[in-house]
Structure 1
Amino acid sequence: MALVTISGYPCSGKSRRADQIKQHLEARLDAQEYAGPKLKVVILSDDTLNIDRTSYSDSRSEKPARGTLFTAMQRQMGQDTILIVDSLNYIKGFRYQMYCAAREHKLRVCTVWVVAKKEMCEEWNSSRSSGRAYNPETLENLFLRYEEPSSMVRWDSPLVTITWEDQDVPAEDIWQAVTGGVVKPPNTGTQAVPKAPTDALLTLEHTTAAVISSIISEQSILQGIGGTITLALSTPTLRPKVTLPARNVTLSEMQRLKRQFVTVHKKAITLGSTEKGGVDWSEESVADKFATYLTENIKS
């Protein structure tokens, strides 16, 4: 349904704001006048995932921590959930990654920027119990590395800003973003790449070899006349057409073109095709594509 990304300095009050947002959203969902779909509100945070504050002390430990958060976020995403991700989310590249995941799941998005002065964050951090406080050096480092959200970029928009002076969150703005905002469709950058069937490589090798064998047989009959011929392969449905020059095409020349054709299509099989819609890896499709490829690339 929606993804709400909380961002701000460490110890800036993000968790308190996340709780306020959750309370307001649940109150609206439980109201008698609400007539929309049944939704649940879930908060995902470093605390719920048992991510230790020391994970942010260096990049080697922080990377797997962010990976844990991102994986958990993807598991919680759904059309029946308003997901609030309560973490630092201070790197714009990571916020963009979250935005792309939301688009892939066709969710509305909203970024909440919790603003507080550094001095306040340091004071609040020092008052925290052991295990929930950041090391002073880590805290200062996170301040320096923080990349502020901007309403001018699509992955931070719509952006709701809450300062330390605000007693409550702008619940109406957030409600409108998560229930009435635009759902942006997945693009090629966020869509899952379609995979080829497991026997695609075998079909590719077998069918291209059969096409070459059929051409060799037909050439012995044509005696170098050339022209467009219909190849007879193993089954009645395999009848690709190929245009040959007025000469005998050598086996080595066709084998070279076969290797080029197979190499290109192997990449599509192993890495996934970027073509829109499903890709046809049937014998008929491969035979027709290879016959066309030979027609276009055999020199006269």
Structure 2
Amino acid sequence: MPLVVMCGYPCSGKTRRAEELKAHFEKSTDRQVYSVGDGALGLDRNSVYADSQKEKEARASLKAEVERKVNKDNIVILDSLNYIKGYRYELFCLTKHTQTPHCLVHCLTSGEESSLWNRNRESAEQYGQDIFDALVKRFEAPDSRNRWDSPLFTVLKDDILPLDDISDALFKRKAPPPNQSTQSQPLSSTNFLYELDKTTQDVLMAIFNAQKTSVPGDLIPVPGATEKVALTRSVNMAELRKLRRQFISYSKMHPTENTSQIANMFVQYLNKGLH
């Protein structure tokens, strides 16, 4: 059943709100409610968020746990920072694949307010100040105009959680239909991995070379795709390679039999990730 994605600065009240939601769903429905988060997985926040590789592995573990639990019967609440828009897009794709609704609850606070709450916690529960500041700086705020951030419920610290509205968004709204980039298909094409690697590399090189003569706002044609890459800013190769790795990782799990569509699927992914 539905996925609720919590989002916000460190120490912005996400866990308290997640607990409110869990209690509400357990009282108002007969469905199994799961809360997945850093605490549930026993993650040491200062150790994890001080090391980019550990953080990446932690996000992968959280996503895998969500994927194991989300289905047409359960309610899953992901109680973590979820501060990277690309990661929220991956979660959105997961809900499309499982054909279940989702929503985002943004616990909105100022950096100063969250920092104060952090300092008032027991020392074992605090973020180190350097780590806290870095996470706030890197935070990518949700935008309801993005499909993966919608429906979006923004909650201030003194607000009453709109439980009925959230329930309506989850239970009275149709699940997003699967599309070619998220629908799981059998891996029958023996050269799929080769085409995936070659096509995505060709797309990256086309973008990199086109940026030498293009300006932000240009639509960049790429080999094998009918759709074009819309760049609103200059993008370095490191960022492009990161998005390519994410796309390849997802595509290996959800391959398409029609390898001619890989380029268009990658362009769509890039246009979301570079938005």
* Superposition TM-score tier, normalisation by shorter sequence: 0.5 to 0.7
Equivalent residue pairs, number: 196
1:17 aligns with 2:17: yes
CA contact (8 A) 2:31 2:75 kept: yes
Q: For residue 127 of structure 1, what is the aligned residue in structure 2?
A: 120
* Rounded Cα–Cα distance in structure 2 between residues aligned with 1:24 and 1:73: 20
* Rounded Cα–Cα distance in structure 2 between residues aligned with 1:182 and 1:155: 15
**Correspondence for 1:77 among 70, 79, 82:** 70
1:89 aligns with 2:89: no
Q: For residue 172 of structure 2, what is the aligned residue in structure 1?
A: 180
Secondary structure of the residue that 1:42 maps to in structure 2?
A: strand
**Cα deviations by residue, 1:152-205 (Å, 9 ceiling, x for unpaired):** 010010001100121x310011010111112111111111232229xx89xxxx
* Rounded Cα–Cα distance in structure 1 between residues aligned with 2:129 and 2:152: 29
Secondary structure of the residue that 1:110 maps to in structure 2?
A: strand
Indicate the structure (1 or 2) with the bigger Cα radius of gyration: 1
Q: For residue 145 of structure 2, what is the aligned residue in structure 1?
A: 152
Over aligned residue pairs, what C-alpha RMSD do you find?
1.9
CA contact (8 A) 2:184 2:256 kept: no
Secondary structure of the residue that 2:10 maps to in structure 1?
A: coil
* Rounded Cα–Cα distance in structure 1 between residues aligned with 2:26 and 2:123: 32
What TM-score comes out, normalization by structure 1 length? Answer: 0.62
1:51 aligns with 2:35: no
CA contact (8 A) 1:193 1:274 kept: no
CA contact (8 A) 1:12 1:115 kept: yes
* Rounded Cα–Cα distance in structure 1 between residues aligned with 2:5 and 2:258: 30
* Rounded Cα–Cα distance in structure 1 between residues aligned with 2:124 and 2:72: 35
Secondary structure of the residue that 2:177 maps to in structure 1?
A: coil
Structure 2, unpaired ranges of 5+: 192-254, 260-275
**Cα deviations by residue, 1:7-38 (Å, 9 ceiling, x for unpaired):** 00000010000011111222221xxxxxxxx4
CA contact (8 A) 2:180 2:256 kept: no
* Rounded Cα–Cα distance in structure 1 between residues aligned with 2:104 and 2:152: 5
Q: For residue 282 of structure 1, what is the aligned residue in structure 2?
A: none
What TM-score comes out, normalization by structure 2 length? Answer: 0.68
CA contact (8 A) 1:92 1:149 kept: yes
**Cα deviations by residue, 1:234-255 (Å, 9 ceiling, x for unpaired):** xxxxxxxxxxxxxxxxxxxxxx
* Aligned sequence identity (%): 38
1:1-300 alignment, distance < 5 Å: 1-29=1-29, 38-54=30-46, 55-166=48-159, 168-196=160-188, 273-274=257-258
Letter of the aligned partner of 2:32 in structure 1? K
Offset, 1:131: 3.3
**Structure 1 segments (4+ residues) deviating >3 Å:** none
Structure 1, unpaired ranges of 5+: 30-37, 202-270, 276-300
* Rounded Cα–Cα distance in structure 1 between residues aligned with 2:75 and 2:172: 13
